A and B are shown apart, each in its own frame.
Chain A
Amino acid sequence: MSDHKASNSPDSGAAKGAEKKAPTRPLPKLTELDTAEFWQGTADKQFRYQKCANCGTVVWHPRAHCTGCVDGDLRWHVSAGKGTIYSYSVVRLSYHPFFRTQVPYAVAYVDLDEGPRFLTNVTGVADPLTEVAVGQRVELAWESHEELSLPLVKPLS
């Protein structure tokens, strides 16, 4: 995909305004049926996750059915917001119209203490090259947007 084409993609968020706007971070779709309830919760800075009341499986990503049993009874819970970096990388090269303006930035898999492993960015560090590590304890650091917030993480204070 050429850079020009990418900058016109609906995901870029730039398509909203007709004027030349700075590229913005791609945001999740609130209309995606399996994940809508999660993203609605983020407006109130809640990290919601599902656990089956029948078999105990923590299901992530969110979805309508339990992957642990066929008579699942998924219930929503709210995470306390603390976890551990399972692995990470610092992106130095991106052709995405927004993310190319953010390099270098850290992406990480974070294991929340309640079980879900989610993909996010590590923020709140002066230098991602030296201040992010596998096994590091982190907590949620919400990034607010118009209809939702993004569950970023920062080193646990």
Chain B
Amino acid sequence: MATQRRDAAIVGIHEYPSRDVEGRVNALQIKAASAAKALADAGLTWSDVDAIYDAGEGGPMSGLMISEYFGIQPTVMDTTGVGGSSYEFHAAHALRAIREGKAKVALLTYGSTAHSNAMAIGAGGRGGGISPGDNMETFAGQTLIANYAMVAHRHMHQYGTTSEQLAEISTATRYHAMRNPEAVQAMTDLEFVGIQETTIEDVVGSRMIADPLHLLECCMVSDGGGAVVIASADVAANCAKAPVWILGTGEATKYPQNGGDITTSAGAQSAPIAFAEAGVSAAEMDIAMIYDSFSITVLALLEDLGFCAKGEGGAWVQGGRLRFDRPNDGPALNTDGGGLSSNHPGMRGIFLLLEATRQLRGESTSQVADASLAIAHGNGGMLGARHSAGTVILGRD
């Protein structure tokens, strides 16, 4: 704790409210609209931005295009694109750039019209890429959901985890989503059946999509986006909102390996790095914003991040432990409703930072009283194959 540094903070946020834009706006417009709102939230403006972070969803060579589109002149540019966890990587890189004195105000943006474009993210064919790994695998017709499902099956085999235990992730996030008007609107616009709190029986009784994962264990495909503004301590001191400090970060990647254990993700590497830098432990976290692409993602990551031992996640989450109104039992999980029930346009990582910030500001619709520490952990790519892990530890004054 003595070594904890507070060099950079999240000072501005915005989550684009619509999850179904019906073709009226495009991804770049969502990014720009969100950036302007996040800068205004911080009490800053375009000309204050000197560092830009972009995951490339706006197109190839996004680093050349995005500054012109926004009308800014950054001197730090970073186009790290590692899937859904890109924004945790961006936050880590922004902290380093600010700490080095290379930047004072960093802007992270995301925009997607995955729903309007009818993108079949979870159950579509694999991309037409010709990487050697893809060339060995495309013939098998493994959907993205089936890849995560293989992690779940292996977890069940090794540790005795059950579908009822996995369903706890879905019921906790839906419990939070029903308190978030934007999440309720999202489920309404995306024509969810049964927009209400769910039971374990609802989840395990829903349609099987890829064994052993049921429909209610799979995230939505929405439109959406958002923006985050990260600033140096001297800038943060004069911003409109209280700073949410980036206390520690970690990055890692993992891929299929002969004899490897797919129940353990790259998060087992990234999280200890982040916790060590922050000088805190998993047990101290009030809020856990963990990428809920699927139920198994959260269960495996809770273990990898150190909330419980590997293999014990199933028993650990039972009985509603992850709900926001049981703060003495452990962290509140995905209090915005998560990717399962609020927002998943393809790369959810930015929303993890947004809701963690809302919690530490006291602005969540499922507010944990006196929340002071949060973890945002993104998983990009495929949990049971090649994927990236970005961990960010956040704290308030």
Question: Interface residues, chain A, CB within 8 Å of chain B?
Answer: 1-3, 6, 9-12, 25-29, 32, 34-35, 38-39, 58, 60-63, 86-99, 102, 105, 107-109, 111, 115-121, 129, 134-135, 150
> B127-154, CB under 8 A of A: which get 1 and which 0?
0101011011111111101110111011
Q: When chains A and B are docked, how far (Å) is the Cα of A28 from the Cα of B146?
A: 20
Q: Are A99 and B130 in contact (CB under 8 A)?
A: no
**Interface residue count on the B side (C-beta < 8 Å):** 43
Question: Interface residues, chain B, CB within 8 Å of chain A?
Answer: 117-120, 123-125, 128, 130, 132-133, 135-143, 145-147, 149-151, 153-154, 157, 207-213, 256-260, 262, 384
Q: How far is the CB of A137 from chain B (nearest CB, A)?
A: 15
Given contacts A26-B125, A88-B153, A107-B142, contact A119 B137 (CB under 8 A): yes
Q: When chains A and B are docked, how far (Å) is the Cα of A58 from the Cα of B259?
A: 11
Contacts A11-B125, A92-B207, A98-B141 aside, 16 further interface pairs with beta carbons under 8 A come to: A11-B138, A28-B138, A32-B132, A61-B132, A87-B151, A89-B211, A90-B210, A92-B211, A93-B143, A95-B123, A96-B124, A111-B259, A117-B256, A121-B140, A121-B141, A135-B157
Q: How far is the CB of B150 from chain A (nearest CB, A)?
A: 4
Q: Are B210 and A89 in contact (CB under 8 A)?
A: yes
Of the candidates B136, B140, B151, B209, the one whose C-beta lies within 8 Å of that of A107 is B140
Tally A-B pairs: CB < 8 A: 147
Q: Please, could you name 16 A-B residue pairs with CB atoms under 8 Å apart, sorted by A?
A: A2-B118, A3-B120, A9-B125, A11-B128, A25-B139, A26-B141, A28-B136, A32-B132, A34-B132, A61-B132, A89-B153, A90-B208, A93-B209, A94-B123, A96-B125, A107-B150
Q: Are A117 and B258 in contact (CB under 8 A)?
A: yes
Q: How far is the CB of A124 from chain B (nearest CB, A)?
A: 15
Q: B136's closest neighbor in chain A, by CB?
A: A61
Q: When chains A and B are docked, how far (Å) is the Cα of A56 from the Cα of B152?
A: 32
Given contacts A88-B153, A89-B210, contact A107 B125 (CB under 8 A): no
